[in-house]
Amino acid sequence: MTDGTGTTEAPASGGTGPAHRSTRGHGSERAARSTAESARLFARALELFPGGVNSPVRAFRSVGGEPLFIRYGEGAYVVDVDGNRYIDHVLSWGPLVLGHAHPAVVRALTDAASRGTSFGAPTVAEIELADEIRSRMIGLERIRMVNSGTEAVMSAIRLARAFTKRAGIVKFAGCYHGHADLMLVQAGSGVATLSLPDSPGVPPQTVSHTHVARYNDADSVESLFRAHPDDIAAVIVEPVAGNMGLVLPGDTFLQDLRRITSRHGALLIFDEVMTGFRVALGGAQAAYGVTPDLTTLGKVIGGGLPVGAFGGRQDIMDMIAPAGPVYQAGTLSGNPVAMHAGLATLRELARPGVQDSLERNAAALAEALRAAAGRHGVPLRAASVGSMFGFFFVDSPVTDWDGASASDRDRFAAFFHGMLDRGVYLAPSPFEAGFVSTAHGETEVAAFAAAAEDTIASLAD
């Protein structure tokens, strides 16, 4: 992990997608972009989908304007339907750690799909992927494949409650664990982006056992255990928060959570849906040296396809049906196409030097942001860890949701559109992390730095 002071020596990427390469919207020069076709498609989408999108943050509500419709991706780039080409730091919100249409993943997908897309029966690929995951994350003695991060979290919490025979769950303000009812309490990500409180449609009794602590504040967790003795089944945490923007754990925060939960007979759940294989090859638990009782996974382990998983200690996991009484099922769980895509991705990530290159590039982006902000007197805090980076337009260090929510949203919106005009695609929300892939190299890092310099200069008071 790093505070973003590194440099990059990674080679420039080579695109693997369609041969057409528009030069519009690339580099630091502010481009005159046309988005007429995206606007036309969004008008159609508004007649078909609530808000015109199939996931809320895509709607650009927090930054203004209308969403871009993407035609294709190639390596470190996406190209929209108007032909504008952007360096992509969204990367499908994290899973594309190898970039778009990586040859190894495309081969795996093509080969798997040619043999059938779903069987609802065991396949060799799910064993191989589980072995690959378990070899990297030593705390996952048993694994259950599911279809999304939300499903993984929902199932892990049900299991924790059954194992401990308790009902209470502790989460942290600003941490997002999917959209299951019991987790939509002071959630980050899209809930924060749209300024929504706890979601309508969630009965109060559903969240009556969900308790909220402050991220990076172990004392707030201790207080909840004192207030609810013998009732808390588990503490669930993003070990590196990525859904209120990127917020790193304090020096002893994760170790304190391990100590507190063990003392009170509760389970510790790491939600590594975002951080798994992004923070480090063994996830945040390897990077920070803390082994949770249960772990939820998603994003990277599907290579860009819908997939999730949860796993942990054998004595806990053996309570899952059919080994035990806790029911969980899914027709598409262990889908062979997703398993092969994930397997190809994890094997590429394990190549020598790959993780070091990813970390250097993410650190270089964070440093470029800090340096530009310092030169132009713009309040900004930036950090990176593994292949993730993030920033806030604030004066003070950000350690929790209160600090993140103080970020200047108007300045972020102006920065977002300024970077977009200069050919850099970021998440349209101040409360999301950014990502790099193995396809991002020196060329992309330099272009990001130049775009950030010009954009931040335009924001100076």
Q: What is the pLDDT of residues 283-319, one digit of tens each?
A: 999 999 999 999 999 989 999 899 999 999 999 999 9
Q: Classify 20 as helix, strand or coil.
A: coil
Structural domain containing residue 404 = 36-102+353-459
Residue 50 in any domain: the answer is yes
- Residue 109: what are its φ and ψ, rounded to 5°? -65, -45
Domain shared by 125 and 75, yes or no = no
Contacts of 210 (CB under 8 A, 6+ apart): 168, 169, 171, 182, 183, 185
| CATH number of the structural domain spanning residue 217 | 3.40.640.10
> Which residue has tokens 């999304």?
148
Instruction: Give the closest residue to 425 by CA, choosing from 411, 440, 410, 409.
Output: 440
What is the C-alpha separation between 436 and 413, in angstroms, rounded? 21
Domain shared by 187 and 316, yes or no = yes
Residue 184, pLDDT score: 65
Alpha carbons within 13 A on the beta-carbon side of 448:
29
What is the C-alpha separation between 363 and 7, in angstroms, rounded? 7
Instruction: Tell me the per-residue pLDDT of 228-282, one tens digit each, with 9 for 90 and over.
Output: 989 999 999 999 999 999 999 999 999 999 999 999 999 999 999 999 999 999 9
Residue pair 373/349 in contact by the 8 Å Cβ criterion: no
- Cα–Cα distances (Å) from 427 to 93, 172, 187, 416, in that order, read 8, 22, 17, 8
Residue 33, pLDDT score: 84
Across-strand partners of 73?
78
- Cα–Cα distances (Å) from 8 to 367, 370, 424, 442, 443, in that order, read 11, 16, 18, 7, 10
- Cα–Cα distances (Å) from 301 to 3, 249, 321, in that order, read 26, 23, 23
Residue 291 in any domain: the answer is yes
Across-strand partners of 184?
none
Residue 339 in any domain: the answer is no
| CATH number of the structural domain spanning residue 62 | 3.90.1150.10
Domain shared by 329 and 395, yes or no = no
Residue 17 in any domain: the answer is no
The token duo for 404 is 């993140």
Mean pLDDT of 31-56: 92
Domain shared by 261 and 123, yes or no = yes
Residue 208, pLDDT score: 79
Domain shared by 51 and 75, yes or no = yes
Residue 380 in any domain: the answer is yes
The distance in angstroms from the start CA to the end CA of the chain is: 33
Domain shared by 132 and 170, yes or no = yes
Instruction: Give the closest residue to 248 by CA, choosing from 381, 415, 406, 90.
Output: 381
Residue 201, pLDDT score: 67
Domain shared by 90 and 221, yes or no = no
Domain shared by 41 and 81, yes or no = yes
Residue 199, pLDDT score: 62
User: For the CA atoms of 269, 4, 247, 274, what is the dihedral angle to 10 degrees?
Assistant: -40
Domain shared by 329 and 421, yes or no = no
Residue 344 in any domain: the answer is no
> Which residue has tokens 């980076």?
389
> Which residue has tokens 């705390």?
139
Q: Classify 250 as helix, strand or coil.
A: coil
Least confidently predicted of 11-25, 362-376, 414-428 = 11-25
What is the C-alpha separation between 456 and 454, in angstroms, rounded? 6
Residue 186, pLDDT score: 58
Q: Is the model's pLDDT at 20 over the cut of 90?
A: no
Across-strand partners of 156?
none
Instruction: Tell me the per-residue pLDDT of 331-389, one tens digit each, with 9 for 90 and over.
Output: 999 999 999 999 999 999 999 999 999 999 999 999 999 999 999 999 999 999 999 99
Domain-ending residue, one of 278, 305, 334: 334
Mean pLDDT of 452-457: 98
Residue 345 in any domain: the answer is no
Domain-ending residue, one of 275, 302, 334: 334
The token duo for 3 is 């505070």
Give me the number of domains the chain comprises. Answer: 2
Length, in residues, of the chain: 461
Domain shared by 126 and 215, yes or no = yes
Q: Is the model's pLDDT at 178 over the cut of 90?
A: no
- Provide the annotated active-site residues: 176, 271, 299
Residue 28 in any domain: the answer is no
Domain shared by 82 and 190, yes or no = no
Domain-ending residue, one of 299, 334, 369: 334
Domain shared by 253 and 393, yes or no = no
